[in-house]
Amino acid sequence: MKFCQFILPNKERAIGFSWEGGKSIVHAKPIFENMKEAGGTKSLFTFPTSMKAFVEEGENALIASREVHNKLSISGEEKQHSEHIFPYETTHLLAPLENPQKFFAVAINRHGGWDSAIKPKHPNTTYFIKLSSCIVGPKDTVKIPDVGQVGPEVELAIIIGRHGKDINPEEALDYVFGYTVHNDITAHQMRKTTEWIRMKRADGSEEHLTYPGRYKNFDTFSPMGPWLVTPDEAPNPDEAILDAWLNEDHVQHGSTRDHVYHSAHLISYLSKAHALVPGDIISTGTVGPVDPWTMATIDLGKVGGTIHAAIEGLGHISNPIEFVPGLK
């Protein structure tokens, strides 16, 4: 199924699922409560108002959602519950999940960059941590700081559905609740201008250090959505097709087939050092640019307009760009 978080007309937040091929959103909670009152289900489940709580419920949440879906599929039921079905285009969608305990982002995970990089003899998977304050919804404005070139990085994001530690790669995908589209917006130029330091060591050597803190974590730097898609409806996470457009210009295209480290490895590797919990997010790495663009020439603040990111089978997000002069 394809789930989302959205704002109801009364300004309350709710959990919904895709209907009519994504043209509408079903508010599942009131329909399910009606089913319980009428004896149409034996479940005692109550739909929460946050996706994190929904994911934590696991199979109980999925069973209840399928019951509502099946109910609406019966002739006449959709019309009877039409007050709980909202048009996608005019509904305020939130990010599918806004408050993960942990938000990992995998770096340099495509062969185009990895193969030519200078690295240790036995390199580890490289990753960094993003802040939940970066996360915004699939239609929300992204605010671009005044720090030079800032670009998009369309990525497939994994949402963990079960507690896990030291997970075997062969079992890793069993810990996935679903997948979503993530745009890991990055202030690339800051790495060259301000976000580095060169350390002089006692032995006379020098070491260049840079850390993905500020240039990856400005507020709004992680638009996400529109759906949290369960594995049964999602594409193979290691064969997904990713694209990004800056207005009408196609600026990124590629597949997770080109990833150095695939999804099961990432889940397993991260779980060795960090106990995973429901709602944790793992963003699996971006794809390359579309010629004649390079990752250093896609400039969101300079061009403006709207940045789009899409993954076949997961959905499309479109975020208006606001350049903020003076924001460093």
Tell me the two tokens of residue 100: 């993960």
* pLDDT greater than 90 at residue 112: no
Task: Give the separation between CA 266 and CA 104, rounded to whole angstroms.
Answer: 10
Average pLDDT over residues 87-97: 97
Give burial (CB, 10 Å; 0-12/13-18/19+) of 208. Answer: exposed
pTM: 0.96
103-106 and 281-283 strand pairing: parallel
Kindly report the length of the chain. Answer: 328
Query: What average pLDDT score do residues 123-127 get?
Result: 94
Q: Which residues contact 134 (CB under 8 A, 6 or more apart)?
A: 103, 216, 217, 218, 219, 220, 221, 222
- Cα separation, 79 vs 31, in Å, equals 12
Phi, psi of 307 (to 5 degrees): -105, 130
CA angle 259, 261, 262 (to 5 degrees): 80
What is the model's pLDDT at position 42? 84
Confidence of residue 58 (pLDDT cuts 50, 70, 90): very high
> What percent of the chain stands above pLDDT 90?
93
- What is the mean predicted confidence (pLDDT) over 295-312? 97
The DSSP bridge pattern shows strands 197-200 and 127-129 to be: unpaired
Residue 269 phi/psi, 5° resolution?
-60, -45
Angle at 76 between CA 70 and CA 78, to 5 degrees: 60
Question: What's the topology of domain 103-324?
Answer: Fumarylacetoacetate hydrolase; domain 2 (3.90.850)
Express each pLDDT in 22-33 by its tens digit. 999 999 999 999
Evaluate whether 212 touches 127 at the Cβ level (below 8 Å): no
Q: Token pair for residue 117?
A: 């990089």
* pLDDT of 40 strictly over 90: no
What's the confidence (pLDDT) of residue 300? 98
C-alpha span between 223 and 53 (Å, rounded): 20
Concatenated DSSP letters for 235-280?
Answer: PPTTS-EEEEEETTEEEEEEEGGGBSS-HHHHHHHHHHHS-B-TT-
Of the pLDDT bands very low, low, confident and very high (cuts 50, 70, 90), residue 113 is: confident
Confidence of residue 292 (pLDDT cuts 50, 70, 90): very high
User: What is the pLDDT of the chain when averaged over all its residues?
Assistant: 96
C-alpha to C-alpha distance for 241 and 235, rounded to whole angstroms: 9
Mean pLDDT to the nearest integer, 294-320: 97
Q: How far apart are CA 223 and CA 30, in angstroms?
A: 29
Q: Quick count: other Cβ atoms within 10 Å of Cβ 206?
A: 8
With beta carbons less than 8 A apart as the criterion, state whether 2 and 227 touch. yes
Q: What is the mean pLDDT of residues 146-175?
A: 98
Tens-digit pLDDT profile for residues 61-84: 999 999 999 999 998 899 999 999
User: Which residue type does 284 have?
Assistant: T
Q: pLDDT tens digit string along 311-324?
A: 999 999 999 999 99
Beta-bridge mates of residue 69: none
* Domain map (residue ranges) of the chain: 2-87, 103-324
Backbone Cα Rg of the chain: 21
- Helix ranges (H only) for 118-252 are 190-193, 214-217
